[in-house]
Structure 1
Amino acid sequence: MADQSSFGWLSVGLKKAKPFLAMVSLQFGYAGMYIITIIALKKGMSHYILSVYRHVIAFLIMAPFALVLERKVRPKLTLPIFLRIMALGLLEPVLDQNLYNVGMTYTSATMGATFVNMLPAVTFILAMIFRLEKVNVKKFHSVAKVIGTVITVMGAMVMTLYTGPAIHFIKSAGAIHHGNTTESDKHNHFIGILLLFGSICSWSGFFILQSFTLKKYPAELSLTALVCLVGAVEGAVVSLIFERDMSVWKVGFNSKFVAIAYSGVVCSGIAYYVQGVVIRERGPVFLTSFSPLCMIITATLGAIVLKELIHLGSILGAILIVIGLYTVVWGKSKDTKSTSEESIMTKDIGKNQELPIVDHGGIIDGPVKILKIPAADNIRSDSIVSK
């Protein structure tokens, strides 16, 4: 009995930990993508073509799973749902990724990952506007979500506005970013920041719309495949408009191909599916609250692989971001617990509402069931009592 009880507790613990483990793993996946992508972009890869090929690969991988595993549960694809899918394909595969990749080339991989820390704040604001998140000022755990979001934004602002001295954890000879900057570099840096902010707004809008779409179309694999397909088509149209040189479509077996394959499999196919599952279970704010971890991982990999310098401002900002992250996650966990307790109480109240049966003046003891009969021609569907 003890072993069975322990196994039960372990099973429950793993089930509760799944969303956390999934999101942490996803941040490592995104961090790897940022490093590989910026290497490919600096070697002449077109960000438009990268986005198109990335989603073609993601569609080819996810479509078979969607066709087989969701053939019995896939809802009908109506016109309103298809229009939402088209909007999803525009927001994330086209706008977010192209704005982000250009902004990252104007700044750095670390700065790009840093701006992702704005994602929880922007998503939280949009979720409040569309009533996907509620804040009860009378409950501390609810206010903690707001406090955590503010702390996260403060950390991101510290990393953006305060540089500080460089911290030489490793040898930085040949670093990409040097101390002397020209006016042109500053101008490009400012443009890069604006583009990164625009990408974050598009990404947040994607999560909000994805949350609404899943309520009407609860098939994560199928939705992932369709978003990738539509995003690839829309991205191809945009690429043909802005890239007149057809040679940019040619990709060999090099760093460009690695960037396409990795981002397509991990960060489009798998990521869209995992995000859909987590959004349906915990909501978009919980999902985006893990994005600050990606910045820390990317900054470390950027220093090792790309020889990017790590400054004091980045470290101080990272500390604030981690504090904000855990504050938001704690508040969300209390929200989930409160919702579960209210659901259990509602079920218990429903079970305890037993009606007595009166039989010729006498009362028959014992529980009774409430049954319903389907409506017939002239018979109204009412509840009847049976023992």
Structure 2
Amino acid sequence: MEDQNANGKLNKGALLRKIKPYLAILSLQFGYSGMYIITMVSFKHGMSHWILSVYRHVVAAIIITPFALVLERKTRPKMTLPIFLRIVALGFLEPVLDQNLYNMGMKMTSTTFASATVNVLPAITFIMALTFRLESVNWRKFHSVAKVIGTVVTVSGAMVMTLYKGPAYQIIKGGGAINHHASATTDQPSEQNWLMGTVMLISSCCSWAGFFILQSFTLKKYPAELSLTAWICLMGIIEGSIASLIFERDMSVWVIGWDSRLLACVYSGVICSGMAYYVQGVVTRERGPVFVTSFSPLCMIITAALGSLVLAEQVHLGSIFGAIIIVIGLYTVVWGKSKDRRESADEIGKGESKDQLPIKNGTKSGSEIFDGIEINVPAEKLKKGEAKNVPTQA
């Protein structure tokens, strides 16, 4: 009976470990969807995207820094110059470059189109991860080749969205909490602005993908997610302030009131900077940067519904076709990666029976949970400390 209870607890614990990354990233997609809508509303009330980027990281730093100082005071590694330079680069890639390019592109197109364009992020991340050897492709195995095929399909979908606009449709008739005069000036840009906005959105995705790759490398040298998040927010404040002073000469833009502009700063700072950097860092260490970027289609669907309801936005046929192609390619990549993880678990579990540790009291002391799968770990690997999450014997 005790063995059954122990096995039940073990299975529940393995299941929880398996679904936690999915729940975390799914929650972030809902958070990002809300940010896109609130941010667009704040822009229509005169908010500068440069100032928004600075203020959101001020809020994030205020929230995250106390937790980092207290919870990681004993585990935080020593700061070195190479690590600090990586943090400076991280602060430029995401808080400054990605966010401002994205917001400028969104203002030139629409929130629905912008969130759909983000679907190309997993493909760009996969290409970068392949370049930096964070991912590998075995041309003899179909599931491995599927990752490349899915990447090509995803990029093709992004090209369809960029080159073909098509007729416009309104998902929810009569929507729009914002006045329609403001919507007409912002949500129906010229063809030239639409193309320029698309280029900015794709460029922001490249910057964001670079952020994930560099964050993955940095966490190997500085495995303290909260402290790294606090440092990124601090660098974002400093570098973003410099960029804002260069591009925004009118000092009055720094003044915000108790309206949607303040809400955008607080919401995006807490949810999409502070919490997002931390959660993405944790999941990146466990699953890799490609997994973290693989759930953007959900964000697109939520944002499209909210954009039509709140901002009275129209969805173009080219965006719908392109998004469908992107989703197909995206989940081809995800399927290939899931097969890779299953294969890696099988390879780790391989070993001669004589190398396995003995069974004591019905529990495999040489077993390990890998992505919810219980596998046997060779004794020599266990002695070298290569296995993790191995239950200790009483």
Return the TM-score normalized by structure 1. 0.85
Structure 1 residues 177 and 147: alpha-carbon distance in aligned structure 2, compared to 1, 3 A threshold: farther
1:266-345 equivalences under 5 Å are 266-345=271-350
Larger CA deviation: 308-317 vs 47-56: 308-317
Q: Aligned partners of 2:15, 2:281: CA distance in 1, in Å?
A: 22
Q: Aligned partners of 2:203, 2:153: CA distance in 1, in Å?
A: 21
Counterpart position of 2:141: 139
Is 1:226 matched up with 2:228? no
Return the TM-score normalized by structure 2. 0.83
Structure 1 residues 321 and 257: alpha-carbon distance in aligned structure 2, compared to 1, 3 A threshold: same
Is 1:91 matched up with 2:93? yes
* Residue type at the aligned position of 2:227: S
Please, which of 228, 239, 257 is the counterpart of residue 262 of structure 2? 257
Structure 1 residues 76 and 45: alpha-carbon distance in aligned structure 2, compared to 1, 3 A threshold: same
Structure 1: give runs of 5+ residues left out of the alignment: 353-367, 373-387
Counterpart position of 1:245: 250
Q: Aligned partners of 2:167, 2:346: CA distance in 1, in Å?
A: 50
* Preserved CA contact (<8 Å) 1:99 1:196: yes
> Which protein is bigger by CA-based radius of gyration?
1
Structure 1 residues 85 and 168: alpha-carbon distance in aligned structure 2, compared to 1, 3 A threshold: closer
User: How far 1:80 moved relative to its partner?
Assistant: 0.6
Counterpart position of 2:16: 14
User: How far 1:369 moved relative to its partner?
Assistant: 9.9
- Partner deviation per Cα, 1:94-120 (whole Å, 9 max, x = no partner): 111111111111111112112211211
User: How far 1:39 moved relative to its partner?
Assistant: 1.0
Counterpart position of 1:80: 82
Structure 1 residues 260 and 8: alpha-carbon distance in aligned structure 2, compared to 1, 3 A threshold: same
Is 1:58 matched up with 2:63? no
Q: Aligned partners of 2:351, 2:83: CA distance in 1, in Å?
A: 33
User: How far 1:193 moved relative to its partner?
Assistant: 1.4
Please, which of 185, 194, 202 is the counterpart of residue 189 of structure 1? 194
Larger CA deviation: 133-142 vs 312-321: 312-321
Q: Aligned partners of 2:234, 2:120: CA distance in 1, in Å?
A: 28
Identity of aligned residues (%): 64
Larger CA deviation: 330-339 vs 82-91: 330-339
User: How far 1:177 moved relative to its partner?
Assistant: 5.6
Larger CA deviation: 304-313 vs 338-347: 338-347
Q: How many residues align?
A: 354
* Residue type at the aligned position of 1:49: I
User: How far 1:65 moved relative to its partner?
Assistant: 1.0
Counterpart position of 2:388: none
Structure 1 residues 177 and 331: alpha-carbon distance in aligned structure 2, compared to 1, 3 A threshold: farther
Counterpart position of 2:371: none
* Residue type at the aligned position of 1:312: L
Larger CA deviation: 294-303 vs 253-262: 294-303
